[in-house]
Chains A and B, each alone.
Chain A
Amino acid sequence: MYTCGIDVGSVSAEAVILNRQDGKFEIVAYIITPTGGDSKEAATNVFNRALEKSGLGASDMSSVVATGYGRLNIPFATKNITEISCHARGVVHYFPDIKTVIDIGGQDSKVIKLDSKGNPIDFLMNDKCAAGTGRFLEVMARALDIDIRDFAKIFAGTSQKVDISSTCTVFAESEIVSLIGHGVAKNSIVKGLVYSITGRIISMVERVGLEGPVCMTGGVAKNLAVVSALEERLNLKIKVPEEPQITGALGAALLGYPKE
């Protein structure tokens, strides 16, 4: 029995096609694509591409579950469920014992607390501000003229950091330009930026109440600098799925199956 989960975020859209057979789940296909300016079009596009990759048709799907900020604009979805429940379900699929989920996406971040059965019992989402999200890192990488994929290596290899005082993405960019102008080493700025993100996330984690084990999801979980900094600050090891960006779509696909 096949289901499809579609996660339409502000920056990227993902689709996961899942098959359940003999009680076991198998990811048949997944796609990650930029959302662009039209979330409806992005959802249709990512769905069609996932079908193409899987060799299946839309009629093969027993359900299509939509999540993410664009979930309400997907007319062909059979259900819509928030990313809170979907990320929780996706994480529990990989790591059944997780108690705290940290999801950092393109323009928002959230912390979700789970009970012993993997049910979300509390959550916090960031407010109107994109600071501390993937967008923040992209803007800063551009300002530094550094490939964002090099952040992990730089973070690990640099001992000095510069505190970035601005909490706003726009003002932080100005601050960085000013620091560069004053001859501050870019590597130190990178380190400072990563700690700046972790500071915002940690205050959210503390509000919800930290309980391990912890899992990180979302595109920013691929940035090992952020993962390392969070591990350091939280003093614990953080689990990251193999492809953290599809966790929401995977959770949506899993929730597409009838209740057990």
Chain B
Amino acid sequence: MGIAENIKENLKLKIQNNLDRNYIRNILRIIGKRPVLAAYGATFSSRSDKYLNIATIKSISCSYNPKNTVAYGSLFLPYEMFHALDLAPFLPEVMGGFTGGLGIADRTLKEASARWYTPDLCTFHRSASGAVELDIFPVPNFLICSNLACDAAQKTFYMDAKKFGLEDNYYLIDTPYDNDESSIKYLAAQLESVSVDICRKSGKKLDIRKFKKAIKLSNEFRQWAIKASDIRKELCMYPKGFDGLNFILPFHGLAGTKDAVDVYKTMYFELNGFLKKQKRGNIKNTGIRRIGSGGRTSVNNVNSININNSNPSSGNGNAGSDKVKKILWLHLKPYYNNNLFNLLENNNYKVVFEEISNVYWPVLDPEKPFESLAIKMLSHPLNGSVQNRVNAILKMAKDFNVDGVIMFAHWGCRHSNGGARIIKDSLKEQDIPMLLLDGDCLNKNNSSEGQMLTRLQGFMEIVDARYQY
């Protein structure tokens, strides 16, 4: 275990044994100090990972600081607005995910269950709600949510508002189905109205210059995120510890800040360096010709899949194992300790891109801030028809030339799982196999790792058999 991992494990244990808002605030106050943060950052081997962790700690520390005006926000909101309003954003769903990584999800889920939160509600929201009830999360001043894609937030946020006596400071931004002029106007008006109201209640004046600045920074982060994604279209080797599925917070919650720019700029340069190494080392994702359904090898040519840390090229004559197979990952992943990604890595499967890293919105116009943020929201592939999402997925699959797609079917996530059949059929038409992997991102008791590993391995055997050696 590396130094960074050791530090994280120690922090985890401390938090597990002291599940208290004040304790967490104190820990964050210590590790959020510049020298401590710098020292912690120096322990990471991946610079992208380093900037991700630093930005995350900074953001969470702000939300735990009682001097700041804290706003709970649901995932798909335009956070440029939060930063323009000088709000410290706190994303309960994302932090709900952190409870999985911190090993406290069992307790937060139990608390939610005791408070009658229905068990078919997604565990991100359920765990977050449990954490609120246990007084682990910071006290908000405002709660802002939308019904874009996920409909759980509007209910759980209202429950949270009631707990804190903040029903008057709860805002639900209604996101229309269609992406057209009238929808943009309707949504922009809501964003402006919410902003004005928050300013009034905070005793501040609405400062449009801050909106313009946030949007300019957002455009800059967007540009670097696209550049980093473009590198990944060719990249087969990654820095140790790099996992695109960990970047939800900077991608969403830090949009409009310099921190988001720094994270993605760093990612671009780090991955670009790796791409140059890859090209120099002639590590290619070619040499094994992929053939279509008419010319597959016979069923005899199945590779032995390695789940352990052994050399996958074990001399068994199955050259399909030596080729790097590229996977597009849809939705999210289990955030508790698991062997799924070990299985992929040890058998030369690489998640080359993930849906949550896809830049889906156009360049925003800083001169029309509310309209721009409305356009950003309405551009999300999860808004409107499932065909929007299908189109986005097909484009990603083509752009990254993937060998397969894995969709993690997180329990209770209706907006994602509901379209699974249509997505799978659409990919099938393009001769791209897809695995629908049932599981739960947070609750390890709600999925069997053995069954997930068998499905994953079976899928890899299917993909391997499609290649001619």
Contact = CB atoms under 8 A, between A and B. Distances in A.
Interface of A: 65, 69, 72, 78-85, 88-89, 92, 114-115, 117-123, 125, 127-128, 254-255, 257-260
Contacts of A84: 454, 458, 461-462
Point out which of B299, B304, B433 has the most chain A C-beta atoms below 10 A from its C-beta. B299
Given A82-B457, A127-B438, A117 B296 contact: yes
Nearest to A66: B304
B454 A83 contact: yes
B215 to A, nearest CB: 45
A82 B304 contact: no
Given A114-B299, A119-B462, 10 more contacts: A80-B304, A81-B302, A115-B293, A117-B297, A119-B299, A120-B461, A122-B462, A254-B300, A257-B300, A260-B301
B196 interface: no
A118 B297 CA distance: 10
A259 B438 contact: no
B448 A128 contact: yes
Interface residues of B, number: 29
B316 interface: yes
B298 A260 contact: yes
A128 B438 CA distance: 10
Nearest to B446: A128
B302 A85 contact: yes
A82 B458 CA distance: 6
A115 B296 contact: yes
Contacts of A121: 293, 433, 462
Nearest to B317: A258
B62 to A, nearest CB: 41
Contacts of A82: 305, 454, 457-458, 461
B465 interface: yes
Given A79-B316, A82-B454, A125-B455, A259 B462 contact: no
Contacts of A255: 300, 302
Contacts of A260: 298, 300-301
A85 B461 contact: yes
24 contacts: A80-B305, A81-B461, A82-B454, A82-B458, A85-B299, A85-B461, A85-B462, A85-B465, A89-B299, A115-B293, A117-B297, A118-B298, A119-B297, A119-B299, A119-B465, A121-B462, A122-B433, A125-B451, A125-B454, A125-B455, A128-B451, A258-B316, A258-B317, A260-B301
B299 A259 contact: no
Nearest to B458: A84
A69 B465 CA distance: 21
A81 B447 CA distance: 22
Interface in B216-239: none
B300 A259 contact: yes
**B interface SS class:** loop
Nearest to A257: B300
Nearest to B294: A116
Contact of A119 (B298, B447, B454): B298
Contacts of B297: 117, 119, 259
Point out which of A65, A69, A85, A118 has the most chain B C-beta atoms below 10 A from its C-beta. A85
A120 B304 contact: no
Contacts of B433: 121-122
Contacts of B317: 258-259
A260 B298 CA distance: 9
A65 B318 CA distance: 15
B307 interface: yes
A85 B458 contact: yes
Contacts of B35: none
B450 interface: yes
A254 B169 CA distance: 67
A88 B302 CA distance: 11
A117 B296 CA distance: 8
A127 B317 CA distance: 34
Nearest to B308: A72
A48 to B, nearest CB: 23
B313 to A, nearest CB: 13
Nearest to A84: B458
A258 B89 CA distance: 58
B296 to A, nearest CB: 6
Contacts of B300: 89, 254-255, 257, 259-260
B356 to A, nearest CB: 25
Interface string B438-459: 1000000001101100110110
Nearest to B456: A82
A83 to B, nearest CB: 7
